[in-house]
Amino acid sequence: MTLERTLEIEHETHHDIMAMVKAMAEQAPEHGGLVHYGATSQDINDSVLALQLRECRDALLESCREVRAELTKLAAEHRDTVCIGRTHGQHAIPVTMGFKFANHLYELSEAQTYLERVKLLGKFHGAVGTFASLGGSDDVKRLVMEELALEAAPITTQVVTRLHLADFAFALSAITAALERLCKEIRNLARNEVGEMMEGFGAKQVGSSTMPQKRNPHKSERICGLARVVRAQLQPLMETVALEHERDLTNSSLERVVLPTGIVLAHYTLIESRNLLRKLVVLPEGVERNLRAGNGRQVAERIMMALADKLGRQEAHEILRTTASADDFEAALRAHDKVSGALTGEEITLLLDPTTYVGRAPTLVDEIVAAYGVEGAPAAAAAASASATA
């Protein structure tokens, strides 16, 4: 049996499975008439697709673990690196860099579980799923599924429900969405006016063809862009759930495009994210500069809470809201009669230290690393070496 002969038959029949069946039967003069006996095309297609997706999932999960291993290292390394947190793009209160990485570690870990849970089901149920061509018995189904080490769908039409394929695409979307959020953070913190981290930059690397000074976060940008393409594959797959009656053919051509597209691009973004994180640089001077930039305003909440015990939360909030607009925040606090009546100068100075207002952030890093972290990632060592060389 050759590919050339199979393609020749397909050119005549316009049916891929029937071409394969005929090509096989030609090579088995005695038993060729039993090839595809009792089966329908989707008994073959859906079962093979489940096997293919299982292999793809294994590769995707390994790459997820490799990215999580890098996030684990960064979270532990920067457990106590205090930095400013941001909400709405504005300075909020301090966190730690390790806390940021731990959040990304948790998010990717959760997305990984979505992929792990996807059902990859085979079938050998006959033309419309009733086993009529198999004498009404599911014995062949059980034997085939055992041989393929697949779980059989409990009931099918001519096809296994496409909900499971849509679920696979959703898992890819979740993984790449988590990567996009990570890379968006890197991109924003790499801005010149922020300067808290940057992508690794090779000695001969070029940032711009016309502006020599630039160090564009192009890997992060590429990942963010491709994540959107992966998510775009989910909608077409959702459309294939509502096939007509026991099956029409609108799913077939679509799946041959969107599944490879989503899987290959998701895997690529995982590999790129792993490589990016291995060379990521945290810039301590920028982190410290931004942490102190508020001149104490970044811990206004802390002052408010200290005053709340004595003045009530609402009055304390109003005092901090008004004093925060002063040119010299600390001086405004000290000059306010209600603040000075409630807090000593030494207490105000201690409260204004942003490095001591991170709550349980370091402990949360420890907890997330313990629960979701990945030590090492031995399978990635050779790839890392090859990537560094390239």
Answer yes or no: do 273 and 331 share one domain. Answer: no
Within-domain flag for 189: yes
Domain for residue 24, yes or no?
no
Let me know whether 226 and 325 are in one domain: no
The verdict on residue 266 lying in a domain is: yes
Q: Say if residues 52 and 167 touch (Cβ distance below 8 Å).
A: no
Pair (231, 242) in one structural domain: yes
- 276 and 321 fall within a common domain: no
Q: Is residue 75 part of a domain?
A: yes
Residue 244 sits in the same domain as residue 129: yes
What pLDDT digit, counting tens, does each position of 126-165 carry?
A: 999 999 999 999 999 999 999 999 999 999 999 999 999 9
| Domain carrying residue 311 | 294-356
Looking at every residue in the chain, the average pLDDT score rounds to: 93
Active site residue 88: yes
User: Residue 111 has what pLDDT?
Assistant: 98
> Is 208 a member of any domain?
no
The residues, any chain, with a CB within 8 Å of residue 214's CB and separated by 6 or more, are 207, 208
Same domain flag for 251 and 351: no
**126 and 164: one domain?**
yes
Q: Which of 15, 137, 208, 340 is catalytic?
A: 208
**Kind and range of the H or E run holding 207:** none
Half-sphere CA count of 290, side-chain side, radius 13 A? 28
389 has a pLDDT exceeding 70: no
Question: What's 303's domain CATH number?
Answer: 1.10.40.30
- The answer on pLDDT for 377 being more than 70 is no
pLDDT surpasses 80 at 61: yes
For residues 216 and 220, what is the distance between their CA atoms, to the nearest angstrom? 9
Query: Alpha-carbon distance 17 to 49, whole Å?
Result: 13
Assess contact for 333 and 348: CB atoms under 8 A. Answer: yes
> From the CB of residue 326, how many other CB atoms can be counted at a distance below 10 Å?
15
- Domain total for the chain? 2
The SS3 assignment for 2 reads coil
**Against a cut of 0.85, is the pTM above it?**
yes
Domain boundary among 291, 316, 334: 291
CATH number of the domain that 79 lies in?
Answer: 1.20.200.10
| Alpha helix positions (H), the chain | 3-13, 16-26, 41-77, 97-117, 139-148, 163-189, 218-232, 234-239, 250-278, 284-292, 300-311, 313-323, 329-335, 337-342, 345-351, 361-372, 381-389
167-192: average pLDDT:
97
**Does residue 3 lie in a domain region?**
no
- Tokens representing 257 are 């495009």
Read off the DSSP letter of residue 130.
S
Same domain, 177 and 145: yes
Quick one: 224 and 183 in the same domain? yes
**Is 34 part of a structural domain of the chain?**
no
**Last residue of a domain, which of 242, 265, 291?**
291
- Average pLDDT of the segment spanning 84-103: 97
pLDDT in tens, 236-257: 999 999 999 999 999 999 999 9
Name the active-site residue from 88, 209, 245, 253.
Answer: 88
| 69 shares its domain with 188 | yes
Q: Which of 75, 79, 86 is nearest to 293 (CA)?
A: 86
**Of residues 304, 326, 306, the one with CA closest to residue 315:** 304
Q: Is residue 2 part of a domain?
A: no
SS3 49: helix
Residue 382 pLDDT grade (very low, low, confident, very high; cuts 50, 70, 90): very low
Query: Do 180 and 91 reside in the same domain of the chain?
Result: yes
Domain final residue pick, 269, 291, 313: 291
298 and 328 co-located in one domain: yes
Judged against a pLDDT cut of 80, whether residue 65 lies above it is answered with yes
